[in-house]
Structure 1
Amino acid sequence: MIHDNLHTDPSPDSKKRLAALAVGAVGVVYGDIGTSPLYTLQTVLGERGMTSAPVNVLGGLSLIFWALVIVVSIKYVLFIMRADNKGEGGIMALMALAQRSVRDIPRLRWIIAVLAIFGAALFYGDGVITPAISVLSAVEGLEIAAPGLARWVVPITIVVILGLFWLQKHGTDKIGVVFGPVCVVWFLSIAALGVNGIVHHPQVLWALSPMYGVEFFLHNHARGFFALGAVVLAVTGTEALYADMGHFGRKPIRLAWAFFVLPALLLNYFGQGALVLGDPKAAANPFYLLVPQPLLYPMIALATAATVIASQAVISGAFSMTREAMQLGYVPRMRIVHTSREMSGQIFVPWINRMLLVLILGAVLGFRSSANLAAAYGIAVTGTMVITTMLALIVARYQWKWNLLQVAGTGLLFLTVDVAFFGANLIKVEHGGWFPLAMGLAVFIMMTTWRRGRELVVREIKQGGLALAPFIENIVQHPPLRVPGTAVFLTGNVQAVPHALLHNLKHNKVLHERNVMLTVAILEMPVAEEDERIEITPMHGEFYGLELRFGFSEDPNIPQALTRCARANLPFDMMDTTFFLSRETIVATDRPGMALWRDKLFVFMARNALPATAFFHIPGNRLIELGAQVEI
């Protein structure tokens, strides 16, 4: 996570660091939206029955311009990015922030959770479509340069995607160092191409007026409204922009957008529009037909590199969101690799990387062209946009204390645009839109099943546990044999005796000199405050209750956290400390709680989850695991 002092420090080193982060953000954060000129205007003018008449060209450009201004500049860059959860962004961080804002309204907390989980699930669907359509659209430039190479488009796309996912293990920071300069060259190139087109037909600048967008709707009627399903391609990547905020920080992302990315995008879009005004046939592929013939192959290579970078935004966003969802209890524990010593937000999640790779390759092989994928694209990302706006409005009302008039006015503007985009994309369901929706629904079922399953397991453990206070009193009155050292029992219920303690006492007939009942709490903020990380509750007979608290973007490293307990007069010597953990064997039954098929799904996920010992960094040579069977 990027800290604010990096942005307010006026020193030369800080300014250099800020500039480096802004360049990295150009590569990682804006790669997706930066490559949308490859296919957006082409798709808008390719709508069924749409012609390349000036009213459509200028109207389509006007809609693209105002979509970039309202959705990206005003909504995301200025409004949504204010809703950072101590520097972290993304829909899961926003959910935690919104829930923290309405702690006293349980019903609203439940609604927020359902909305956020569904929005997160749709984001994964977007994360599959975006790399596939981006890379395919770039490689399809070969069809313009040499039509005979058309059959090689899909194989080359697959090779490029395999290379992209191989790079992920090297980390966002290292990728950003490589990708940033490439994307800078990309944006400078598309801006130059756009200027060249505008110079030949400067009347294209009339499209800056919103009246041309209105005229577009009046001229095309229902067909004009459904063209919004293509216009939304211009703002793809905005959700990833928010999700990647923890990687680079708010200020570098805002600076990169306002002073570099947005001007380059607008120049290229208007350059394409100028070309089509002069030659309506150029609507078939206005981006590549804007490129001078001698520069076509170099531009295809640069576009392919840029689309690889474009895919990085949603991939790194998926990594960030997965960790947040994991800490908040919505997905099973997975291995997380930290790829930067300076920024905790830069991570690599191997399982998610493999899953996305398989699904993206499936999308490329199944749809085989960017035109086909454009029919599938939009419904997932616009659904997530609607949910993000709703959650941000809740934060504005309850956290920022906006009055109802401010919330209503802001909501009316943003939700009108979001719902219009979502509605225009609904007709895509039968033409491929079902694909990201099906993926989103599958992820939603898994996330809600995991959350509900964990609740049922905790409930069963609590029902079968002995009360801790009477147990300790009995131990004090009838002391068993005590052996030197400290025993740490991991438990989720501070009021009950941990199963591992009971098993140890029953089978080994001994207790350690000091026994610590340890619980781990994940807070609804990315980083826990120093003064709330540890809470120690002394009990009789050298028993202690200990709660360690972590933020949802932190690594819950228990041994490291225990070293801080010395300040609170509870020192730990790791060589004299033994960790006891109950490993639950979960059995699916037809008990009330979840359908049997969901019970079985939960059991499958639990068996494949990363063990708690690895997740909490507990050394294997200091660990004793005791089994317990739990029926749900």
Structure 2
Amino acid sequence: MPDIVENSIDLVSQDHQEVSDHPDHDEDQLEGKKLSWERLPRDDSLDLESRSLTVPHGHESKDEDWLVTMHLAFQSIGVVFGDLGTSPLYMYASIFNKGINHDDDILGVLSLLFYILTLIPLIKYTFIVLRATDNGEGGTFALYSLLCRYAKIGMTPSQQPEDRDVSNFELEFPTKSVKRASRLKSLLENSPSAKVFLLFATMLGTSMVIGDGILTPSLSVLSAVVGIKQATSAMTDDRIVWISVAILIGLFMVQRFGTDKIGYSFAPTICIWFIMVAGIGVYNFIKFDPTVVKALNPKYIVDYFRRNKHDAWISIGGIVLAITGTEALFADVGHFTVRSIQLSMCTITYPALVLTYAGQASFLRKNRLLVADTFFKSIPKPLYWPMFVVSVLSSIISSQAMISGTFSVIQQSVSLGCFPRVKIVHTSTKYAGQVYIPEVNYLLMLACVGVTLGFRTLERIGNAYGIAVVFVMTLTSSFLVLIMIMIWKTNIFLIISYVLVIGSVEFLCLSSMLYKFDQGGYLPLAFAAVLMFVMFVWNDVHRRKYYYELDHKISPEQLKKTAIDRNFCRMPGLAIFYSEIVQGIPPIFDHYAANVPALHSVLVFVSIKSLPISKVPLEERFLFRRVEPKDLNVFRCVARYGYTDVRNENEPFEGLLVEKMKEFIRDSFWISQRNNMHSSDGEIKFGIKEEVQDWTLVNSGENGKEDSKRQVDDQDKQQDLLDREIEAIDKAWRQGVVHLIGENEVTAAEGAGIVRRLLIDYAYNFLKRNLRQTDQVFNIPHKRMLKVGMTYEI
């Protein structure tokens, strides 16, 4: 359908100042403004709107400051690397759960640990996957969003108009890489099944990450409390479980303080942990058996598999626990920056883990029978109790990585319409990606407590956790290969090498973990099934409702016809009608007009949008457009907010809206006047009164004087009309403001199948009733709020 206004003016001010009522001042002000004669776009693109703002934002600006990078690198140690760093607590015990049969098996396992740590966390994630962020955000949805920018494969209605520009490969030289990328791009764009599969895989990966966020706290906290049992025999299994539950509740309670404060609180403990385990590793390496350095030769891996065959394959499931938390490197990048995570990984985490595993291997070469308690038995006696305290604290902290990652991926899925709307709290005014989601936090806490009480043992939780970890890694690799081909246009031999090396290792790990499916491995798949069902229902109905509103929005002709046929009674006051679309007048307005044939003297349709920047200057907050016919006094407005701006504090919001609307009316008036006095080459002449004077000097005859006087009279009449229009706005403002909310009910259309009826009438509406409503999202004052209901049959 056509846009609401045929000949409209969209004003985006780059350097607004307050405008007085004096017309000459209005004219002078326009000279410093950037004017856009384009219509508001049909597509709802927040990034496109935010580009007009002068406030620096985004993660790239953070990367430019090394001091900020160092601060974030320090914080990331406490948030991102806790889970990865505490694996030495149980690693060798998990691998050799049946004991060590041969001395060289220790070298084979150490070699496996070294190469898996190098290939997956270091090379794959730190140096390859972290390059694939979407505007600084990581996770499965970030990869999917990145692909949607370069090809029309998205099924959600939130695709941006600029996606079409960045995906245009025709401007590049027709190299083999470009041709390969174009073929794959065309294949994906023309295949509905491929689009569905990619969205399905994205939801699966996101669900698995959320599953990690449930299993990681349970595993890490329980492992810490089990360590207390080794220190004192008074601890029973029941006490261990209930102490773990109490610690988990406390851990989730502190999440509301935000990643910034939590990172600074946790980082010192994890730093001390890495320093101590690395130092103990060096001590054991020198004292017991420095010859374990031979494990750098991958020959010991081959020998290990030849000797142990099936048991060696099963033991890979234990080795996977050495890389748990690796996905947090990518999922948590939005809380930090790429450079800060790379810095902390390469300088602290990776070297400390390699030294720790080498030291434990040296210890086991001389103490094979102590494999069940490798970590604590290998600690020098003077350091035992300090190390015990630090290890307990570090194990509790280690769960923070996936909790923060869960918040990040849910924020991304909400923005793409694939997750029910929840309250997203930005906990830092400095770093855009640090978020906290209260509802999700409490649901995670309940799930973690349930898993801990239900499973009760580390072995079963470890089996479940390993499957979730490797599943997400495999999906990440699959998306990464598409990005390498379509976006990066990587050399085909490098892509093949990546698949053969990294892909083979991950497939081997996944096959080993699936062997333990019936021993707890089913749990993450059950979590993923429930979460995917929720995401699918919400995304499917969200898309149907969105396109229903676009198809049924009110056109200019419809609005004019409605205004004439119904002869609206005009009520005194200003009405603010909230809508979720910016493409036109929402269909619910026609429903309102049919049942209440009266309009307020001034009506403004407001769409509140959150932009991915910290603050939007007040002078750039509103985008206005007048809705024709002019005498209706109906306007459209997009109110733009940054994530740290306070929304709608009653009078301040309303007062600012009215002032900016009057400014828009003045600007529109003077632009229309100047537009009527274009020069022959199409340029606008500034200063109407000065132009009249110059024209009079040139035409010094009687006709020239009469024409000049006529123009001045016309200008005075136009000024009177402007003054009356401004006075009408002020009068409506003084007579009172009412907030109208379009509350949509969604039902399955007549003739719909039973599956669609179940999804829409029961599943979707159940989620909608139990989650945040529109007035809660917009923070609308309840005393002056009126809800307008309408049923959409989709």
1:615 has 2:763 as partner? no
Partner of residue 192 from structure 1, selected from 256, 259, 279: 279
- Equivalenced residues, count: 622
Structure 1: which amino acid aligns with 2:274? F
Name the CA distance, whole Å, in 2 between partners of 1:59 and 1:567: 76
Match of 1:510 in 2: 598
Query: Once the 2 structures are TM-superposed, how far is the Cα of residue 605 of structure 1 from its aligned partner?
Result: 0.4
1:180 has 2:229 as partner? no
Look up the SS of the partner of 2:304 in the other structure: helix
Name the CA distance, whole Å, in 2 between partners of 1:615 and 1:442: 25
Query: Once the 2 structures are TM-superposed, how far is the Cα of residue 586 of structure 1 from its aligned partner?
Result: 3.8
Match of 1:592 in 2: 753
1:67-109 per-position Cα deviation (integer Å, ceiling 9, x unaligned): 1111011110001100111111122222211211212626444
1:478-557 counterparts in 2 under 5 A?
A: 480-483=568-571, 487-491=575-579, 498-518=586-606, 538-542=626-630, 543-545=634-636
Match of 2:468 in 1: 380
Query: Once the 2 structures are TM-superposed, how far is the Cα of residue 169 of structure 1 from its aligned partner?
Result: 1.3
Look up the SS of the partner of 2:107 in the other structure: helix
1:164 has 2:251 as partner? yes
Name the CA distance, whole Å, in 2 between partners of 1:32 and 1:570: 57
Look up the SS of the partner of 1:569 in the other structure: helix
Closer/same/farther in 2, CA of residues 566 and 367 from structure 1, 3 Å limit: same
TM-score using structure 2 length = 0.72
Query: Once the 2 structures are TM-superposed, how far is the Cα of residue 293 of structure 1 from its aligned partner?
Result: 3.9
1:141-193 per-position Cα deviation (integer Å, ceiling 9, x unaligned): 23332344243322222222121111111111111111011111111111111
The alignment-based identity, stated in percent, is 30
Structure 2: which amino acid aligns with 1:598? L
Contact in 1 for aligned 2:429/2:614 (Cα 8 Å): no
Query: Once the 2 structures are TM-superposed, how far is the Cα of residue 303 of structure 1 from its aligned partner?
Result: 1.4
Contact in 2 for aligned 1:40/1:231 (Cα 8 Å): yes
Match of 1:3 in 2: 59
1:47-126 counterparts in 2 under 5 A?
A: 51-103=100-152, 105=189, 107=192, 108-126=194-212
Closer/same/farther in 2, CA of residues 254 and 627 from structure 1, 3 Å limit: same
Contact in 1 for aligned 2:432/2:613 (Cα 8 Å): no
Query: Once the 2 structures are TM-superposed, how far is the Cα of residue 622 of structure 1 from its aligned partner?
Result: 5.3
Look up the SS of the partner of 2:421 in the other structure: coil
Name the CA distance, whole Å, in 2 between partners of 1:350 and 1:450: 20
Query: Once the 2 structures are TM-superposed, how far is the Cα of residue 593 of structure 1 from its aligned partner?
Result: 7.8
Match of 2:766 in 1: 604
Name the CA distance, whole Å, in 1 between partners of 2:413 and 2:662: 32
1:182-581 counterparts in 2 under 5 A?
A: 182-200=269-287, 201-458=289-546, 465=552, 467-475=554-562, 477=564, 480-483=568-571, 487-491=575-579, 498-518=586-606, 538-542=626-630, 543-545=634-636, 569=664, 578-581=738-741
Larger Rg: 2
Contact in 2 for aligned 1:584/1:629 (Cα 8 Å): yes
1:42 has 2:93 as partner? yes
Contact in 2 for aligned 1:99/1:112 (Cα 8 Å): no
Worse-matched range after superposition: 356-365 or 504-513: 504-513
Structure 1: which amino acid aligns with 2:766? F
Name the CA distance, whole Å, in 2 between partners of 1:325 and 1:512: 38
1:311-354 per-position Cα deviation (integer Å, ceiling 9, x unaligned): 01111111111111112111111122222222232222111111
Closer/same/farther in 2, CA of residues 292 and 86 from structure 1, 3 Å limit: same
Closer/same/farther in 2, CA of residues 429 and 400 from structure 1, 3 Å limit: same
1:241-289 per-position Cα deviation (integer Å, ceiling 9, x unaligned): 2111111111111111101111111111111111111111121121111
Worse-matched range after superposition: 559-568 or 142-151: 559-568
Name the CA distance, whole Å, in 2 between partners of 1:90 and 1:445: 20
Closer/same/farther in 2, CA of residues 72 and 155 from structure 1, 3 Å limit: same
Name the CA distance, whole Å, in 2 between partners of 1:300 and 1:498: 62
Q: CA RMSD in A?
A: 3.4
Structure 2: which amino acid aligns with 1:68? L
Closer/same/farther in 2, CA of residues 4 and 458 from structure 1, 3 Å limit: closer
Closer/same/farther in 2, CA of residues 550 and 281 from structure 1, 3 Å limit: farther
1:441-474 per-position Cα deviation (integer Å, ceiling 9, x unaligned): 11111111111122344455567x4642322221
TM-score using structure 1 length = 0.89
Look up the SS of the partner of 2:791 in the other structure: strand
Look up the SS of the partner of 2:134 in the other structure: coil
List runs of 5+ in structure 2 lacking aligned partners: 1-56, 154-188, 667-728
1:146 has 2:307 as partner? no
Match of 2:713 in 1: none
Name the CA distance, whole Å, in 1 between partners of 2:91 and 2:641: 43
Look up the SS of the partner of 2:300 in the other structure: helix
